[in-house]
């Protein structure tokens, strides 16, 4: 299989690309290597991929229409895994235009490229953030998601709507993956596990929002990659029994679908912190704060639709996942120092 992976220097992008490369696929990877967080970490991820002869990297931004169009015209691939995006709920409060450029303009450029190239399957990153103000649990793809509580979530919901339009108009098969709090080695420095581990080791204070009264469906990176790659092979088709009088938001008369990827095991935030403390053998200095704007209280993935098209879904335990992250973190930063 010949693939384009956008955001290939990102956390999920690097892991997806490496698994594809290991099985012998040709991977063209692109990334703009921006400074939202330490570019050195992104470059180190790229170094792990550069050892593969079937990996080809281009430093570019999907928000650049000309560059993206030329890439689709020039390079040979028939599947696209689109993971390039401006991530982060809280950062969208500070720099909203970054989300418009990357998540909206960038996604449109990718859709246009896929249309022109007649790509066989576009798999793209959505987010559990799209559930916004929903409180019915577990969170199902069949639920209405018209009440986002952050701009980041709104852009991801917009991506799903844009993808459906292209699936309808041009028969482009699209799958949107709503990721639930992905964590693991090579993770993003702005996410809870990375922030908490770093602060505890440096004996700094960790900030705990909503006074710790939150639950998250933490999903280990290897489980995410396994599900994504299986999904890549299951190209969506039109739902021939789609009921337009009572439409299912997760499917369509077009070759379109959205799927949750989660562990289906919500964890209390304080239990999450306790597990990090136990594995580090150090207590955290805690500062309790009110709920942060844009945050949701609880995530819990209903993964029954995903289970219908995948086999032997792996679900790494929180304890094992945190242990693997801490092992990587200590090794990586011992080398950096």
Q: CA-CA distance, 49 to 29, in Å (whole number)? A: 10
Q: Quick check: 299 and 171 in contact, CB under 8 A?
A: no
Q: Strands (DSSP E) along 52-170, which ranges?
A: 55-59, 79-82, 121-127
Q: Quick check: 226 and 313 in contact, CB under 8 A?
A: yes
Q: What letters, b where the CB count within 10 A reaches 16 and e where it falls short, cover 71-104?
A: bbeeeebebbbbbbbbbbbebbeeebebbebbbb
DSSP track, 44-80: HHHHHHTT-TTEEEEE--TT-HHHHHHHHHHS--SEE
Catalytic residue among 36, 124, 131, 152: 152
Question: What is the DSSP-derived secondary structure letter of residue 260?
Answer: E
Q: Is 300 a catalytic residue?
A: no
Q: CA-CA distance, 34 to 39, in Å (whole number)? A: 7
Catalytic amino acids? 152
């Amino acid at each position: 299989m010949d693939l384009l992976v956008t955001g290939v220097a990102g956390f999920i992008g690097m892991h997806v690309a490496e698994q594809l490369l290991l099985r012998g696929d040709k991977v063209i990877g692109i990334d703009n290597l921006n400074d939202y967080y330490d570019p050195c970490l992104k470059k180190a991820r790229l170094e792990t991929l550069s050892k593969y002869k079937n990996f080809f990297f281009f430093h570019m931004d999907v928000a650049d229409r000309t560059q993206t169009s030329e890439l689709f015209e020039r390079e040979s691939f028939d599947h696209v895994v689109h993971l390039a995006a401006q991530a982060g709920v809280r950062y969208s409060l500070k720099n909203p235009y970054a989300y418009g450029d990357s998540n909206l303009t960038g996604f449109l450029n990718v859709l246009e490229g896929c249309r022109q190239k007649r790509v066989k399957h576009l798999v793209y990153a959505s987010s559990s953030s799209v559930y916004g103000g929903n409180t019915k649990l577990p969170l199902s793809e069949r639920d209405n998601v018209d009440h986002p509580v952050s701009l980041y979530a709104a852009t991801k919901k917009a991506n799903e709507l844009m993808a459906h339009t292209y699936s309808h108009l041009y028969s482009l098969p699209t799958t949107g993956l709503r990721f639930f709090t992905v964590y693991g080695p090579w993770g993003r420095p702005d996410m809870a596990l990375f922030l908490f581990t770093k602060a505890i080791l440096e004996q700094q204070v960790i900030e705990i929002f909503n006074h710790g009264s939150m639950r998250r469906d933490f999903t280990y990176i290897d489980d995410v990659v396994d599900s994504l790659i299986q999904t890549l092979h299951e190209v969506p088709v039109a739902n021939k029994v789609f009921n337009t009088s009572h439409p299912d938001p997760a499917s369509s008369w077009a070759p379109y679908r959205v799927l949750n990827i989660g562990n289906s095991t919500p964890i209390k935030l304080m239990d999450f912190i306790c597990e990090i403390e136990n594995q580090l053998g150090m207590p955290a200095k805690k500062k309790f704060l009110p709920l942060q704007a844009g945050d949701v209280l609880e995530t819990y993935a209903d993964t029954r639709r995903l289970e219908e098209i995948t086999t032997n879904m792996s679900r790494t335990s929180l304890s094992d996942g945190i242990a693997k992250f801490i092992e990587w973190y200590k090794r990586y930063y011992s080398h950096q120092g």
